[in-house]
Structure 1
Amino acid sequence: MRYQSTTGLDHDQIQELVAPIHQVLGPSHRPTGRPAALGLYRSVLLTLVLLRQNLAQTVAADWFGVSQPTVSRVFRRIAPLLGQVTCPHTPPLPEALRGRVVLVDGALIPTHEHASHRKANYNSKHRRPGVTAQVLAALDGTLLAVTGPVEGRTHDSRAYTLTGLNLLLTDNQVVADLGYQGTPAIRPRRKRPGHKTHTPADKIWNTSVSAIRAAVEHAIAHLKDWKILATGYRARLSELPTVIRIVTSLEHYRLAGDTSE
């Protein structure tokens, strides 16, 4: 069976994840009693499907022939291990940024509406609740890093400071969009006072900046192929930073094994 369309990883990549997870877990400590509902390989497969497709756990339970509580237990057990074993594929910062031109953009991660966070996480631009993370990419679109989330109402220029990028990227040339007004980033130019249109020089500048920035948009699009970050995160908000780290590590792992990128 082919799994790349449902998990984002091919069969060999999944097998390469199972081996180190087996080493981390060690030998089974269940000498008696009923066997586990899912073996390790299918547990890893189930967790990847949940991250990639953001299925409701009841639907995933039907797919894998287990109960919803089993799906929940498997996900909570295996997801952190996926992040742990793929972590070496994540480029270390700030070494990975040294000497690079860095593209930065904010990405909204939609969430379900939580009463206690309704106002703080409502993003007026996208007209939906969520949190935002700053995505860093190289000029060729290679994903470099994803910051922790901030409240969905936070403007990108403010998030740039809150997430520490103003300190991390001090020695880098940064390219961003108009939302980063007030930061040192290279960005498109606004219309000049008294002008209804851009000057010819500004049009050329903005076109050039937009062409460069397209790479970070591609990086965000690939990151959001992990639908748990794109179609509405349903679990506890306190666990979302960990999920973002896990997905980021998996995306770096996927890119390391994808020669077509």
Structure 2
Amino acid sequence: MKKNNHAVEGPDGLVYTARLPLSSATLYYLAELIRGHLKKIGSRWRALPAGKIATIVLAVLRCDQRPGDLAGGNNIHRTTVTRWVREVVGLLAARAPRLDWACKMIARKGGGIVLLGGSLIRTRRRTGSDNRKHYSGKSKCHGLLVIALTDDRGRLLWVSAARPGRTSEITACRHDKLTAKLRASGLAAIADLGFIGLDDIDDPGADPAVITGYKAAKNRPLTRGQKLSNKALAAVRAPVEHGFAHLKNWRVLGMLRTDPTWATALVRALLVLTNREVSR
């Protein structure tokens, strides 16, 4: 008996045209980046031109389009699309600013204050021993923790490595030696109550590197002045949430279905693209 294993829709399927909510400047930038990389490695041939490769990669990152769907519409293999995405993400992540460079850039421009925040990128539930360490008790879901610095307008300056969701924000900042690098650049960061205790300074007369609000205790309610201070700090640090919102406009971060070890490069690559979109 002859087997018939083709899809119900037919062997060819349907192809449709969609519009990406991105600027042409971002497409041209990515296409030039790919062309420069191909010239550097001496690659003489690709299945599609650099501009088309850039469009496919942006569709995966912006709309979380499945590589298999894009491959079928462009007559290439699914693994080719996946390889292109990994390649471009690596090129973009290499251009993401480091923490010390970002602090020096702000200090050179005359700024003295940055905004500090953390956000959880949701992932699928892990298996085995990785399940517990990727579960965030604060957000009640599995994910990866990312710390970010922004300027007073919410423009992303730096993002940390993606760490398991069980990691606390203070632990992640101490791992990156954040307070030491802020002091070395003469900067101070405004953060939320989740960062209380990060800046443990021995000298009581020294200026703090991390400024937070006041947290009420069970037997010690906040005074009126402390409540007003918390309200003022919340208004000042609101742009850092806008920065995370711009970053999460890339729908590939809606629910990561890839290896968590690749998430750091992905987030840093999206930082570069986000800043180009916001500043255009």
Provide TM-score, normalisation by structure 2.
Answer: 0.78
Q: Which stretches in structure 1 are left out of the alignment for 5+ residues?
A: 31-35
User: Pairwise CA RMSD of aligned residues?
Assistant: 2.5
Q: Which stretches in structure 2 are left out of the alignment for 5+ residues?
A: 1-16, 200-209
**Residue of structure 2 in register with 1:16 after alignment:** 29
**Residue of structure 1 in register with 2:270 after alignment:** 247
Take 2:73 and 2:237, find their aligned partners in 1: how far apart are those partners?
40
Please, which of 111, 116, 120 is the counterpart of residue 104 of structure 1?
A: 116
Question: Structure 2: which amino acid aligns with 1:111?
Answer: T
Q: Which is higher, the Rg of structure 1 or of structure 2?
A: 2
Question: Structure 2: which amino acid aligns with 1:222?
Answer: H
Is 1:187 the counterpart of 2:212? The answer is yes
Is 1:162 the counterpart of 2:175? The answer is yes
Question: Structure 1: which amino acid aligns with 2:174?
Answer: T
Is 1:208 the counterpart of 2:203? The answer is no
More off after superposition, 166-175 vs 211-220: 166-175
Take 1:4 and 1:60, find their aligned partners in 2: how far apart are those partners?
14
CA distance 1:93–1:12, shift in 2 (3 Å): closer
**1:134 is paired with a residue of what secondary structure?**
strand
Provide TM-score, normalisation by structure 1.
Answer: 0.83
Take 2:90 and 2:191, find their aligned partners in 1: how far apart are those partners?
32
**Residue of structure 1 in register with 2:48 after alignment:** 38
Question: Structure 2: which amino acid aligns with 1:49?
Answer: A
**Residue of structure 2 in register with 1:144 after alignment:** 157
**1:239 is paired with a residue of what secondary structure?**
helix
CA displacement at 1:68 relative to structure 2: 2.1
Is 1:76 the counterpart of 2:86? The answer is yes
Take 1:138 and 1:60, find their aligned partners in 2: how far apart are those partners?
37
CA distance 1:175–1:243, shift in 2 (3 Å): same
Instruction: Say if 1:178 and 1:187, in contact at 8 Å, map to a contact too.
Output: yes
**1:206 is paired with a residue of what secondary structure?**
helix
Instruction: Say if 1:100 and 1:138, in contact at 8 Å, map to a contact too.
Output: no
User: Percent identity at matched positions?
Assistant: 26
Instruction: Say if 2:20 and 2:59, in contact at 8 Å, map to a contact too.
Output: no
Question: Structure 2: which amino acid aligns with 1:226?
Answer: W
Take 1:69 and 1:61, find their aligned partners in 2: how far apart are those partners?
9
Take 1:77 and 1:201, find their aligned partners in 2: how far apart are those partners?
53
CA distance 1:12–1:178, shift in 2 (3 Å): closer
**Residue of structure 1 in register with 2:104 after alignment:** 95
More off after superposition, 130-139 vs 232-241: 232-241
